[in-house]
Amino acid sequence: MTAPIWSQLLALNRPLVMGIVNVTPDSFADGGRHLSREAALAHARNLVAAGADLLDVGGESTRPFSEPVPLEEELRRVIPVIEAIRTELDVPLSIDTYKAEVARQALKAGAQIINDISALRFDPDMAPLAAATGAPVILMHMKGTPRDMQADPRYDDLLGEIKAFLKERRDFALAQGIAPDAIVLDPGIGFGKTFAHNLQILNHLDTFLDLGCPLLVGPSRKAFIGHYLGGLPPDDRDYGTLAAVAVAVHKGAKILRVHNVAAASQFLTLLRIIQTA
């Protein structure tokens, strides 16, 4: 998928649903369920059948306080899954990684998009790789690293600091030769934010629209939802997730990264029908 085709996908003029394929033993919401190639492929089939517009494949959990995964282990997890999905399913694939070598091999295996939680900061080879291959990038705001981001996140100006970060990362990507229509921005719900910060970001998501890039939001099953709904565990947070999705779309999000694709797809389809009736 080249950057123009990415633009064409976004030009469907409706919010896109990104299904999550975690090939990890320890992700907060579904760790271990899709760890094998066969289980991950079956999950991908189900997500596409449920309405996923694209899939995000990741081999390293970035939950709060998680530890990094060695390069070879991450490759062992994700490359066979990407190859299997590409062989069977005609769906855009994103590789969720901050390691350039993982992204390089994933693109070779059939992925087309790089979803980098570090916004091209953790690996100096990532931006040149994206520029050379033409792979679209998703650049996310994160305060700290997954290991320490939730220790005590503080901001003097939450929205202003996130916006300044995303602008700087966008400009960096452009300076590296990444095409303007190949950049998506993600304010990073749950990545170095308190529960109250997450609510503020969702309520003011339109603050970031004038950066000129499509916005991706990933609130799915996150801890703030469980907190505000009386301590619900991750598997019981899908209804709450839809409330966050509704606000995100109302405030301008173009891509919603979710675990329960069927629920999000049905919700967004009916919302669009109601709004255009």
**123 φ/ψ angles, rounded to the nearest 5 degrees:** -130, 115
Across-strand partners of 70?
none
Q: Could you tell me which of 232, 246, 239, 233 has the C-alpha nearest to residue 274?
A: 246
Given the structure tokens 């629920």, which residue do they identify? 263
Q: Is 193 among the catalytic positions?
A: no
Give me the half-sphere count of Cα atoms (radius 13 Å) on the Cβ side of residue 188: 29
Distance (Å, whole) CA 15 – CA 217: 11
The catalytic position among 143, 163, 169, 222 is 222
Distance (Å, whole) CA 80 – CA 65: 27
Q: Is 222 among the catalytic positions?
A: yes
Q: What is the largest CA-CA distance in the chain?
A: 52
Kindly state the tokens that stand for 261: 């694709």
DSSP letter, residue 109? H
The three-state (H, E, C) secondary structure of 229-264, written as one string = CCCCCHHHCHHHHHHHHHHHHHCCCCEEEECCHHHH
Distance (Å, whole) CA 198 – CA 237: 15
Across-strand partners of 116?
139
Q: Could you tell me which of 132, 1, 131, 149 has the C-alpha nearest to residue 62?
A: 149
Which residues are part of the catalytic machinery?
222, 257
